[in-house]
Amino acid sequence: MIKTKRTSWLARFCLIAVAACMALPAQAALEVDITQSSDQAIPIAIAPFKANGQRLPVDISDIASRDLASTGLFRTFDRANMTESPATPEDVNYQSWAAQGVDNLVIGSAARNAAGGYRITFYLVDVARQQAVTSFQINAGGNQLRDAGHTIANLIYERFVGKKGYFLSNIAYVTVTGNTANNRTFRLVVADYDGSQPSTIYSSKDPVMSPAWSPSGDRIAYVAFDVYKGTSSVRIQNLSSGQARTISAGHGVNGAPAWSPNGQEIAFAKSADGDTDLFVYNLATGQTRQLTRSGAIDTEPSWSPNGREIVFTSDRGGQPQLYRMNAEGGGIQRLTYDGSSNQRADFAPDGKSITYVQKSGNGFRIAVMDLETNNVRIVSDGPQDDSPAFAPNGQAVLYARQSGRNALSLVSLDGNAKSTLSQAGEVREPAWGPLGY
């Protein structure tokens, strides 16, 4: 009976992945909806950029504006209310912008460069002081204008927030097409951080789950199932070549892969001798070593950024809770006590906090714990929130919201700024890649 109970909570996430659902094809881009902004959001207007008086083939200023607005930390000015699109500070009618309540203004232009792309010049203007605070110049190929828009947002974000922006990063997630077992297709999708430019990297009639980015961003580890054979496998796929490598496979549990910070090892869960324990696979040697031997279910490892510690989920205390150990498997300590259970931890990039799923009377919600003080903040509303992942700059958390219309949600660390990435169907199991620059 005890083993049945332990298996039931571990199976919860597997059941989420294999449940029948309707979804659009993976090529459908996610749509960003800003659901809540911070009370102290920074007001800013980004005027349209032009090239020789003409509109650019890609609206880079609109991309930058959407990027900043999606964080909830910026309140962007509606383009429909803009009366001018100046290219230089000398062209700005400061009285007009001030009358519309604009404090910060971004203006710029693009010119063809010798390489056949564009040289983009833009300014951040302080309207009250009637002068440019700073200026930037970037070069972009003709097919890199979308990235140029993200770069502009990154530079503005860093200027105001003091942290690198994440707008050139990528996310991975899982979608499902079809509503019956016979026509269901699972897809592992990689897209820009905002869900644009999606690309399917793996497709199967059987479930796929738990994507995890390598630190270099060139590979993704994930879990694939073969329902007919009753097996599961942990795989690593190269995003450039598409080649996949299986590091663990067989009946029972093979799951929850997590990369070491140096990209040389992968921690994962595997059932051995009837128990589920944590193992580490060395990519250079192909050798696997066992970390835990508790007789309980140990799963969902997450490496600390310095590579010295691993936080994981275990029911060794009766219910799923988070524990911390050194990277060799020793010095195990319990971390979480609030709520009836806590699981699926992810370390912040600075190693000072973790995000995870907490079950309480309000269902499953996303929590953030400060590892120095053990203070815990609940940053999502529930009741079925899952799979939290820190932004690569540590300033936001991406998670799957699995109640009502399934979607991905983005929330600031204080819970005050929120946005949703959704499509007509379900999207789940998000993983956030490195910064991208």
Could you tell me the CATH number of the domain that includes residue 195? 2.120.10.30
Q: Which of 140, 161, 182 is the last residue of a domain?
A: 161
CB atoms within 10 A of CB 182: 7
**Per-residue confidence (pLDDT) for residue 88, from 0 to 100:** 95
Q: Give the pairing type, strands 254-259 and 265-272.
A: antiparallel
**Per-residue confidence (pLDDT) for residue 362, from 0 to 100:** 82
**Per-residue confidence (pLDDT) for residue 23, from 0 to 100:** 33
Q: How distant, in Å, are the alpha carbons of 132, 253, 274, 322 from that of 3? A: 66, 14, 9, 19
Residue 328 pLDDT greater than 60, yes or no? yes
Q: Name the packing angle between helices 145-161 and 60-70 (round to 10°).
A: 40
Helices assigned H by DSSP within 71-203: 94-99, 145-161
**Measured in whole angstroms, how far is the alpha carbon of residue 396 from the centre of its chain?**
9
Query: Mind listing the pLDDT tens digit for each residue in 123-138?
Result: 999 999 999 999 999 9
Query: Mind listing the pLDDT tens digit for each residue in 226-267?
Result: 999 999 999 999 999 999 999 999 999 999 999 999 999 999
Q: What's 138's domain CATH number?
A: 3.40.50.10070
In total, how many domains does the chain have? 2
**Are 154 and 297 in a shared domain?**
no
Give domain status of residue 93, yes or no: yes
Alpha-carbon distance 124 to 159, whole Å? 10
**Are 89 and 231 in a shared domain?**
no
Alpha-carbon distance 13 to 122, whole Å? 46
**Per-residue confidence (pLDDT) for residue 7, from 0 to 100:** 36
Q: Return all residues near 28 (Cβ < 8 A) that are at least 6 apart.
A: 198, 423, 424, 425
**Are 214 and 95 in a shared domain?**
no
**Per-residue confidence (pLDDT) for residue 338, from 0 to 100:** 92
**In 3D, which of 344, 296, 339 has the Cα closest to residue 317?**
296
Residue 48 pLDDT greater than 80, yes or no? yes
CB atoms within 10 A of CB 271: 19
Q: Give bridge partners of residue 190 from the DSSP assignment.
A: 172, 199
Give domain status of residue 393, yes or no: yes
Give domain status of residue 207, yes or no: yes
**Per-residue confidence (pLDDT) for residue 420, from 0 to 100:** 82
Alpha-carbon distance 419 to 35, whole Å? 5
Contact indicator for 297, 290 with CB cutoff of 8 Å: no
**Are 122 and 212 in a shared domain?**
no
Complete DSSP assignment for 315-354:
-TTSS-EEEEEETTS-S-EE---SSSEEEEEEE-TTSSEE
Give domain status of residue 437, yes or no: no
More confident residue, 191 or 24: 191
Taking residues 212-219, what's their average pLDDT?
Answer: 97
Question: Which of 68-72, 90-94, 231-235 has the lowest average pLDDT?
Answer: 68-72
Q: Using pLDDT thresholds of 50, 70 and 90, give the confidence band for residue 32.
A: low
Give domain status of residue 142, yes or no: yes
**Are 314 and 413 in a shared domain?**
yes
**Are 387 and 243 in a shared domain?**
yes
Q: Using pLDDT thresholds of 50, 70 and 90, give the confidence band for residue 283.
A: very high
Residue with tokens 């599961």: 232
**Are 58 and 110 in a shared domain?**
yes
**Are 249 and 300 in a shared domain?**
yes
**Per-residue confidence (pLDDT) for residue 176, from 0 to 100:** 82
Q: Which of 136, 161, 186 is the last residue of a domain?
A: 161
**Per-residue confidence (pLDDT) for residue 28, from 0 to 100:** 66
Residue with tokens 């789940």: 428
**Are 25 and 65 in a shared domain?**
no
Query: Mind listing the pLDDT tens digit for each residue in 360-417?
Result: 988 999 999 999 999 999 999 889 999 999 999 999 999 998 876 678 999 988 887 7
**Per-residue confidence (pLDDT) for residue 154, from 0 to 100:** 98
Question: Which of 145-159, 167-181, 340-354 has the lowest average pLDDT?
Answer: 167-181
Q: What is the pTM of this model?
A: 0.88
**Are 84 and 111 in a shared domain?**
yes
Residue 333 pLDDT greater than 80, yes or no? yes
Give domain status of residue 376, yes or no: yes
**Are 134 and 215 in a shared domain?**
no
Q: For residue 179, what are its two tokens?
A: 């509503």
Give domain status of residue 399, yes or no: yes
More confident residue, 419 or 210: 210
State which residues form the domain around 63: 41-161
Residue 9 pLDDT greater than 60, yes or no? no
**Per-residue confidence (pLDDT) for residue 13, from 0 to 100:** 33
Give domain status of residue 87, yes or no: yes
**Are 191 and 118 in a shared domain?**
no
Residue 12 pLDDT greater than 50, yes or no? no
Q: Which of 161, 188, 208 is the last residue of a domain?
A: 161
Taking residues 101-112, what's their average pLDDT?
Answer: 95
